[in-house]
Amino acid sequence: MDIDVLRVSGKAEWKRLNELTRKRSLTGEQIDELDRLYRVATTDLARVRTVSPDPDVIAELSRTLSAARGRLAGTGGLTGAVIARFFAVSLPLTLYRIRWVTLAIMAAFIAISAIQAHYLMTTPDAMNALGTPEQLRNYAHSAFVEYYHQDTRSEFGLSVWANNSWIALQGVATGITGVYPLWLLWQNATVLGNVAGIVIAYGGPWHFFRFILPHGLPELTAIFMSLAAGLRVFWALLVPGEATRFQAVGSAARASITAAVGCAILLAGSGFLEGFVTPSELPDALKITLGTLLTVATWAYTLILGSRAHRAQESADVGIDAGYYQPVAG
C-alpha cells in the first residue's frame, strides 16, 4: 500500500472528521457522519500499522481518532463550561436532593450528643470513670484549649482538613452498606457529647461553645451532607424506582462523589477557621459570626441554586453526558 496514495484519498475524510469533532453542537445527521468517518479512519489506521507503519501518518490519525472518540463518548474534557455547570447545577442540585436526609442526620447527631453530655453531667459514676475531678478540670481548662494551638496555624488547619475529609470520604464510600455511616454518626456524636459534658461541667457552657461553634458549624454541616450522600446510595439499592437497580446505584454513587467534592471544599473553609480563627484573639462573637456566615452561605447556595435547578428539571448526574447511562425502552 502506498502511504502517499492513502494520504491523498483519506485527506478529505480526515479533515471532515476533525471539523465535526471540533463543532460545538452536532445534528443527528452529523453525529451519524462522525461515527461513519471515525470507523473509516480506524480502518485506515489499522491498514497503515499492518502494511506500512509510517510514524507520521500513525501519529496524525491517532490524534484525530482520539479526539473523535472523546466526542463520540461524550468525554469532552475539563472545560470552563463543565466546571461552571458543576458548581452552578450539579453540586447544588445534588445537595438539594439530600437536604432532608442531611437535616435528619443533623437532628440525630445533636440529640445523641446532648443526651450523652447530659448523662455524663448527671451521672457522677460515669463522669468519674473518665478521670479524677482534677484531671477533668485540667482537660477542660488546659488540654481542650491547647488543642487549638498546636503546631503552626497552617499545619493545624491542614491536618484538621485532612482528618475531617477522611471521615467524610468514609461516609460516602461506605454508604452502600447502610450501616457504617450510621456508626460514624453515633461514634462522632458520642465523642462530642463526652467532650461537651466534661467541658461544660468544669468550664461552663460558654467555654465550650466559644471554641466549638466558629469552625464546628460548617465542619459538622459537611459531615452531615457526606453521610446523607452515602445513605442515598444505600436507598437507591433498596428502592431503585423506575430505573434498573444498577442504574439507580450508579447514578447515586456518582452523585455522592459530587457531594464529596463539595464537602471537601466546605471542610477546607472550616479547617481555615479552626486553624486561624478559633485560636485567634478575635472577639468570640466575631469568631462565631464567621462560622455562622459560612454555614448560612452553604445552605443558601444549596437551597437557591439547587431549587432553581430542580424546577428546571436539570440533571445532577455528571455521567449523563459521558456515555455512562443505559438506554431503556419506552
- pLDDT tens for each residue of 63-121: 888 888 877 765 555 567 778 889 999 999 999 999 999 999 999 999 999 999 999 99
> pLDDT class for 38, splitting at 50, 70, 90?
confident
pLDDT of residue 7: 66
Q: Would you state the cell numbers that stand for residue 178, as one nine-digit string?
A: 447502610
| Mean pLDDT calculated for residue range 272-291 | 94
- Check: CB of residue 127 under 8 Å from CB of residue 120: yes
Where do we find the cell 500500500? Answer: 1
Q: Residue 21, class by beta-carbon neighbours within 10 Å (0-12 exposed, 13-18 middle, 19+ buried)?
A: buried
pLDDT of residue 319: 47
> What's the CA gap between 309 and 78, in Å, rounded?
21
- Check: CB of residue 207 under 8 Å from CB of residue 199: yes
pTM of this prediction?
Answer: 0.74
> What's the CA gap between 69 and 66, in Å, rounded?
5
Q: What is the mean pLDDT of the chain?
A: 87
Tally Cβ neighbours within 10 Å of residue 47.
14
| 50 torsion bin: left (phi>0), alpha (psi -120 to 50), beta (else) | alpha
| Mean pLDDT calculated for residue range 175-191 | 95
Hey, which of 6-15, 188-197, 310-319 has the most confident mean pLDDT?
Answer: 188-197
Q: Is the pLDDT score of 175 beyond 50?
A: yes
Q: Is the pLDDT score of 329 beyond 70?
A: no
Min mean pLDDT across 19-23, 270-274, 300-304 is at 19-23
pLDDT of residue 330: 38
Reported as type and span, the H/E element at residue 190 is helix 180-203
pLDDT of residue 212: 95
Tally Cβ neighbours within 10 Å of residue 66.
11
Q: Would you state the cell numbers that stand for residue 63, as one nine-digit string?
A: 490524534
Amino acid identity, residue 313?
A: Q
How far apart, in Å, are the Cα atoms of 198 and each of 27, 133, 138, 300? 67, 10, 10, 34
User: Which residues have CB under 8 Å from 179's CB, separation 6+?
Assistant: none
Q: Is the pLDDT score of 256 beyond 60?
A: yes
Tally Cβ neighbours within 10 Å of residue 141.
14
> pLDDT class for 5, splitting at 50, 70, 90?
low
Q: Is the pLDDT score of 186 beyond 60?
A: yes
- Check: CB of residue 222 under 8 Å from CB of residue 260: no
| Mean pLDDT calculated for residue range 3-21 | 75
Q: Is the pLDDT score of 134 beyond 90?
A: yes
Q: Residue 95, class by beta-carbon neighbours within 10 Å (0-12 exposed, 13-18 middle, 19+ buried)?
A: buried
Tally Cβ neighbours within 10 Å of residue 91.
24
Tally Cβ neighbours within 10 Å of residue 140.
20
pLDDT tens, residue by residue, 202-234: 999 999 999 999 999 999 999 999 999 999 999
